[in-house]
Amino acid sequence: MGDRRSSANDRQGGKRGAAPAGVPPPHRSNKTQPAQAQVRPEVHAQAHPQAHLDKPPRPRPVRSICVYCGSSPGRSPAYAEAARSLGRLMAENDIGLVYGGGGLGLMGEVARAVLAGGGRVTGIIPEFLTEKEHMLREVTDLVVVADMHERKRLMFDRSDAFVALPGGIGTLEELVEQLTWAQLGRHSKPIVLFNAAGFWAPFVALLEHLRAEAFIRAGMEVRFSAADSAEAVLVAVHAGAPLARPAADGALTEKF
């Protein structure tokens, strides 16, 4: 497939919200335990207000998922297999992938799996990372942007949910950013940890520690789900899909 690079400015018509300006959204201990055993219900439960209707509205369909993951494969082969299994399942279910545009590590694994299954892949990458992360030119839609802020804004705009595979500091930063903005009520898109080989158990334990030490207060719970298979990830994504697009989602893009 040819190189389909485009600039973010060429794609303003495809965004869900108005073109924002300003500040971006919020954007290995070897011993691990199953994440669910570490998470208290009030920490990760995804709740929605109940509509008092004879026929409750259906959840908004999930057409695309933003996947955060490492540009390295990691130590365990289970991580790459998790990325491939998620990509295959997304393609089978006609769910597009939005990701950071690289061709290395887990980023390349998940993107190539979606493409191999006939799925849609949108890669969004800053100019300065095109060589460092080996930009994947075979994607369906390749968007080269000016900086990390623009990258994260577009990834948010084009996604209905967020899934975190294993990764490093960049993956952690992107995940925590979305958790923070959800905690503050700025968006209600589902956030799911793909806990391949127990990778996210220490992170979940840290959130529980923060809650126990009263740094996550009652009423300010961090809402997310954790799953240990690609099938469970998609179940969690669909279960957490909002009933309607809240005004806060649109407001968030204005604060990037």
Q: What average pLDDT does this structure show over 204-229?
A: 94
* pLDDT mean across residues, the chain: 81
9: phi then psi, degrees, rounded to nearest 5: -65, -25
Angle, in degrees to the nearest 10, between helices 230-239 and 77-92 = 50
Q: Is 163 helix (H, G, I), strand (E, B) or coil?
A: strand
Q: Is domain 21-44+59-253 in CATH 3.40.640.10, yes or no?
A: no
What pLDDT score was predicted for residue 56? Answer: 55
pLDDT over 80 at 251, yes or no: no
Who's near 216: CB < 8 A, 6+ residues apart?
43, 207, 210, 222
Nearest to 181 by CA among 204, 212, 203, 156: 156
pLDDT over 80 at 196, yes or no: yes
Q: Which is more confidently placed, 195 or 250?
A: 195
pLDDT over 60 at 10, yes or no: no
Distance of CA 175 to the CA centre of its chain: 7
pLDDT over 90 at 239, yes or no: yes
Q: Region of 159 please: left (phi>0), alpha (psi -120 to 50) or beta.
A: beta
Angle, in degrees to the nearest 10, between helices 169-183 and 148-157 = 50
C-alpha 62/C-alpha 161 separation (Å) is 7
pLDDT over 50 at 189, yes or no: yes
Model pTM?
0.74
Edge-first strand listing for the sheet containing 5-7: 5-7, 141-145, 121-126, 96-99, 64-68, 161-164, 191-194, 225-227
pLDDT over 50 at 45, yes or no: no
pLDDT over 60 at 89, yes or no: yes
Percent of the chain with pLDDT over 90: 66
Angle, in degrees to the nearest 10, between helices 77-92 and 105-116 = 30
- Residue 67 pLDDT grade (very low, low, confident, very high; cuts 50, 70, 90): very high
What pLDDT score was predicted for residue 24? Answer: 46
Q: Which is more confidently placed, 30 or 225?
A: 225
Of the candidate ranges 62-71, 104-113, 234-243, the one whose mean pLDDT is the lowest: 234-243
Q: Is 220 helix (H, G, I), strand (E, B) or coil?
A: coil
Q: Where do the structural domains in the chain lie, given as residue ranges?
A: 21-44+59-253
Over residues 139-158, the pLDDT tens digits come to 999 999 999 999 999 999 99
What pLDDT score was predicted for residue 219? Answer: 87
pLDDT over 80 at 32, yes or no: no
What pLDDT score was predicted for residue 104? Answer: 96
What pLDDT score was predicted for residue 36? Answer: 42
What the block records as the tokens of 54 is 């004879």
What the block records as the tokens of 23 is 């500040």
User: How distant, in Å, are the alpha carbons of 39, 135, 188, 216 from that of 130?
Assistant: 37, 5, 31, 38
pLDDT over 60 at 100, yes or no: yes
